[in-house]
Chains A and B, each alone.
Chain A
């Protein structure tokens, strides 16, 4: 029978709405408003997980997103499962299931717990030091390490939920809805600033909403009462949007912030369906007000990690906000007054507080007096030296602390308890501030890192800005608001605050024990099991930089990013190394502040929206005719058209033969098309292509090669002169956007004097490429009145025509070496054009072919494909294309680079043809080429760039780049493969119809 630790009805807990949920397979009950953590605590469950390295039992430590220990797997073994969720952030709902992580077979009995007893053998850097030797054993080690470690399980099936993105633009973004955030948002909105207020919790009010210290008053009310009234007033303010359950994950430059809005995680399964689960808010704010508050620090002492040891502020929140007592025998351990507030909060609800252990000599504040009056025993100048209780704390032992705080004296006192609240002061949550690129400074008096500056675009207010007392908060907030928003008066001018003055804190980063450090376990990073002695070991081993110590000890590298212990780690390093905290700097806080799901990051871009793709107007026909597709850039291109279960090889062989023997048709719509107009269009082409363009007659086409300024081939394609000042340029499919960008660059920045206009028309035209000896007859059937004679319409020329009423542009150009036509129509007629060609070609057995056959046919002709046979290191000379480089032109892009000493080397890699001695062996593309076997190290001469079996030549053919290949015609070389050496001979890259007789066939 579990105990019921509900202490009173809280207004945030709806006791009429009882909820059942499962944790580690067992059913528990809680109420609407509970988190998984508060509901478990109400059932007296503290043990919720095991630590990462030593598998020590761990309990709930905090009440918020800083939780290092209570991370659980939600809805295990379902498609909605999620690992590493903080129990302190899960709002319970009917049917919720959660389980512990990092333990096997169960959290109660975990085999890995043996690591705890072996811990002397697991110092910092253990894995780096141990599993190095022998190097070949790493694979074996890794298997066991991976199985015994791990934080939760990732889902194995498709996420059923919907995620979304939203852009928000606002004048003022306020992050955090505690007292500072609420007042800032209210005053910004009232002054006509479009304001967005976000908070990670489901309720507004932060820590102040349950602040009932009777000695603190705002306008004669307790802070909690006063703040509730303020929150009520927010509802009537225009210009203010409030988003709860919204955690800002990242703060980038120029006030660009990313936040995760959680919409359905707190709902029952039946209410989650068809709703957006989480939304990524992309916020651009003119001004950002950070009111992210502060996180309470623990204290670092021996065995400070047992279940039942919690932050003092968390105990207070569980009691005041959730109406849950975390223990029945409570002890507090503190270096400041806030533990006394927590103690009084418990005392006022009738919960037993055994003692307060304070490392200070004394404190005279009113709250401390109140605690004394209540009869709670206070141990001044004492420190905890050890704790006991494996799965739940059952006692602490304390000793008198020496004056310098470095040792303990006197006799040991043991105090029996089941819950210990630790209060080590407060650390401002400056994570977002530093993410924005701003720098921190160390405040020696408060022992905190604070924002170094507030700018006109960004301020930090409240405790994240270093103001911890309500009077300071309101006074400084008022001034910062006036300065930043440029306003003269605010609501805050007339607020009257009374507060209890606190005595100074006593800060000791690492508390001494009666045992030597080596025999103790003072945890600094709970999740990663990094202790103070690990940090000291790192320093002894020579690590000095904070970032190096962090990586070596893994301090601050867990899913909680060291929100609790980072300051202590820095403090211990500073003390040990004998430097000041300010000189040491701090580690970098990187986004996200709390983990994001992948779903939130990708939003709607899943499934077919994962990547953009483009389809040609003929796409439906290809699909209907069972084409296989390949991705070319963003395009889905027909790859080959298998019939009757053909393999790719069989289909390509058939298509290639048909195109040469009768007729083939290719969808060439994806080629880039740029419309070029202007009185300087010819001059422009002269400058961008290697060959001469001025004399190209209207109605003629020309192949052009484009270089980069470094002389390397960049793109190629045929350009047609449509009119005196009008050209249409084609580019490679993949290069279209970049070519346009490059041409625009030159036009706008180098040659602004040229009168030239460029327009991308790639999507505007559909192109069918008709090729083969019967292509002319087919075209004649489609357009009977067009004169197709070689005299009227020779190779490399252009005609405008009409197919029915549809205007079309026909270029007689060829990428296959066959007589062929490229027919361009307005994109919407593309499929119609294709079908007309198929119908007219039926009697000639017209064969649709895809990109693979296109590649094979052009390889037979030795035509290059930029990006396949070139790789950004090939000049036209390397490609043996000297004929296309104009000697007469004074300049063109890349010309000067062709005369650099390096590009003129004779032993550059050059494009050649390669024939295998055995005509049936097809070389692998990418295979290396050598001239000598049994050489060590072997000298690589080059590699195969294109390789096919040619059905027309009945042998395999290949293109390759080979060092000095130009002068190697007929030379025998080798292509060494894994289990054989292939003998090859260097050949002319034009394998088929060397005299180009078929163009006019």
Chain B
């Protein structure tokens, strides 16, 4: 059970949060211009790596804010947490 440092509320138990998959996948601004393959790339393709991964998390049972997390999936170490719109920390 992670202890997650919500950038708005502070440290809270994982059960207050919801994981939201890979971070920094921007919704295409002009979807209609995309080919089926390009749209499928956005829609379906997600990384699932062993190691450092950038993820979206939501403080669903708290402030309801979304934020980003850098997590090492091999040992679940949370390396960084930063707000939506902020640049990911240099790795």
Q: Which residue numbers of A lie inside 8 Å of B, CB to CB?
A: 252-256, 284, 437, 709-710, 741, 744-745, 748-750, 752, 890-891, 895-897, 899-901
Quick one: closest A residue to B68, CB to CB? A749
B2 lies within 8 A of A253 (CB): yes
A890→B31 CA distance, assembly (Å): 9
Quick one: closest A residue to B11, CB to CB? A284
Q: How far in angstroms is the closest Cβ of chain B from A440?
A: 15
B43 lies within 8 A of A709 (CB): yes
Q: How far in angstroms is the closest Cβ of chain A from B88?
A: 14
Hey, which chain B residues are within 8 Å of A710, CB to CB?
43
Hey, which chain B residues are within 8 Å of A900, CB to CB?
36, 39-40
B20 lies within 8 A of A745 (CB): yes
Given contacts A749-B56, A900-B36, contact A254 B75 (CB under 8 A): no
Hey, which chain B residues are within 8 Å of A256, CB to CB?
1, 3, 13
A662→B34 CA distance, assembly (Å): 54
A896 lies within 8 A of B34 (CB): yes
Pick 18 A–B contacts, CB within 8 A, sort by A: A253-B2, A253-B76, A254-B1, A254-B3, A255-B3, A256-B1, A284-B3, A744-B58, A745-B20, A748-B65, A749-B56, A749-B84, A750-B26, A891-B30, A896-B28, A896-B39, A899-B32, A900-B36
Q: How far in angstroms is the closest Cβ of chain B from A752?
A: 6
Give the 10 A-B residue pairs with the shortest CB-CB distance, closest first.
A896-B31, A254-B3, A256-B1, A748-B66, A750-B27, A252-B1, A896-B39, A253-B76, A749-B66, A900-B36
Quick one: closest B residue to A744, CB to CB? B64
B58 lies within 8 A of A437 (CB): no
A17→B29 CA distance, assembly (Å): 81
Q: Of A254, A741, A745, A750, which contacts B2 at CB under 8 A?
A: A254
A748 lies within 8 A of B84 (CB): yes
Q: How far in angstroms is the closest Cβ of chain A from B4?
A: 9
A958→B39 CA distance, assembly (Å): 36
Q: How far in angstroms is the closest Cβ of chain B from A880?
A: 24
Interface size on B, residues (CB 8 A): 27
11 extra interface residue pairs, beta carbon distance < 8 Å, beyond A891-B31, A896-B31, A899-B32: A253-B1, A256-B3, A284-B3, A437-B75, A709-B43, A741-B60, A745-B20, A745-B66, A748-B84, A896-B34, A897-B39
A115→B40 CA distance, assembly (Å): 61
Given contacts A741-B58, A745-B66, contact A901 B36 (CB under 8 A): yes
A897 lies within 8 A of B43 (CB): yes
B43 lies within 8 A of A890 (CB): no
- Per-residue CB contact flags for chain B residues 30-54 toward chain A (1 = under 8 Å, else 0) read 1110101001100100000000000
A744 lies within 8 A of B66 (CB): yes
Hey, which chain B residues are within 8 Å of A745, CB to CB?
20, 58, 66
B10 at the A interface (CB under 8 A):
no
Of B18, B20, B39, chain A has the most CB atoms within 10 Å of the CB of B39
B89 at the A interface (CB under 8 A):
no
A150→B75 CA distance, assembly (Å): 38
A709→B25 CA distance, assembly (Å): 13
A749→B43 CA distance, assembly (Å): 16
Q: How far in angstroms is the closest Cβ of chain A from B2?
A: 5
Hey, which chain A residues are within 8 Å of B64, CB to CB?
741, 744
Q: How far in angstroms is the closest Cβ of chain B from A687?
A: 10
Quick one: closest A residue to B34, CB to CB? A896
Quick one: closest A residue to B75, CB to CB? A437
Q: How far in angstroms is the closest Cβ of chain B from A385?
A: 48
Hey, which chain A residues are within 8 Å of B75, CB to CB?
437
Hey, which chain B residues are within 8 Å of A252, CB to CB?
1
A400→B20 CA distance, assembly (Å): 67
Hey, which chain A residues are within 8 Å of B13, CB to CB?
256, 284
Hey, which chain A residues are within 8 Å of B26, CB to CB?
750
Hey, which chain A residues are within 8 Å of B2, CB to CB?
253-254
Quick one: closest A residue to B28, CB to CB? A896
Hey, which chain A residues are within 8 Å of B27, CB to CB?
709, 750
A900→B40 CA distance, assembly (Å): 9
Quick one: closest B residue to A437, CB to CB? B75
Quick one: closest A residue to B1, CB to CB? A256
Hey, which chain A residues are within 8 Å of B76, CB to CB?
253, 437
Q: How far in angstroms is the closest Cβ of chain B from A437?
A: 6
A896 lies within 8 A of B3 (CB): no
A897→B44 CA distance, assembly (Å): 11
Quick one: closest A residue to B29, CB to CB? A891
A612→B65 CA distance, assembly (Å): 24
Q: How far in angstroms is the closest Cβ of chain B from A612?
A: 13
B1 lies within 8 A of A752 (CB): no
Quick one: closest B residue to A760, CB to CB? B64
